[in-house]
Each structure stands twice: as structure tokens, then as C-alpha cells.
Amino acid sequence: MSESGSHATNQADLRDASRERLLAEIGLLQHQFSMTDSGQLHAQKAQLEFEIEVLKRELADSEMRVLQARDYAQGCAAELGEAQANFVLHQQLADRQVRQARKKARDIYATRTWKIGRLVMLPARIVRRILKVG
């Protein structure tokens, strides 16, 4: 009986030893996994933080370019408005000068001196026309 008792104890001890060995291996694997996983997570976290910083810089640069484009567009719109106002002003000035020149011409053609001069020069104009045609 003592052999069967020791045999049972040996099997129980073997089961316990196997169980302990498996538990130890599981613990070791978990520890290695957590170390590896922790290291990988730390590396991934660092990479993601770096990418976030790069994207933040790109976003800030893009925002600055948008603001510069908006300022440029507003400046161009202001210059266009100023140019249109100057165009209208100069067009009005030119129209006024044309009206004044036409009025001066009408006033000159209406003078007695102009009319007498045309009458006196009528024979010379007729001779010139005849010579041009011939």
C-alpha cells in the first residue's frame, strides 16, 4: 500500500509540478508580452505623437496660407475698386473736355470772322478741289 500511496503522491506531485511549471511559463510569457507590448505601444505612441505634431504644423502653415490668400484677395478687390473709381473720374473728366472742345468749336464757327473767312476762301477751296480731282 505504501507503494500505491507513494505512487498517488508522485502523480499528485507531478501534476502540481506540471501545473506550477505551466503557471511559471504563462507568467513569463505574460511578462514578455507586456514588456514587448509596452515597448511597441510606447514606440507607436511616440510615432503617433510625432505625426500629430507634423500635422499640426501643416495645419498651421495651411491656415497661414489661407489668411495670406484672403488678405491678397481683399487687397486686389480694394485696388480694383480704386481703379474703377479712377476710371469713372477720368472718363467724366474726358467727357467734360470733349464737351468743352465741341462748344469752343461751335462758338468759333458761329463768329462773324469765321464766316467771312470761309466766304473769302471759297474760291481757293473750289480751285483746290478741281486740281485734286484732275
Q: How many domains does the chain have?
A: 1
Containing structural domain, residue 19: 2-133
pLDDT, tens digit, 9 for 90 and up, residues 4-48: 556 656 777 767 777 788 788 887 777 766 666 666 777 888 888
Give pLDDT, residue 116.
95
Q: If residue 15 lies in a helix (H) or strand (E), which one and from where to where?
A: helix 2-109
Q: What is the pTM of this model?
A: 0.46
What is the torsional sign of CA 99, 121, 124, 126? positive
**Rounded average pLDDT over 76-105:** 96
Contact 116, 110 (CB under 8 A): no
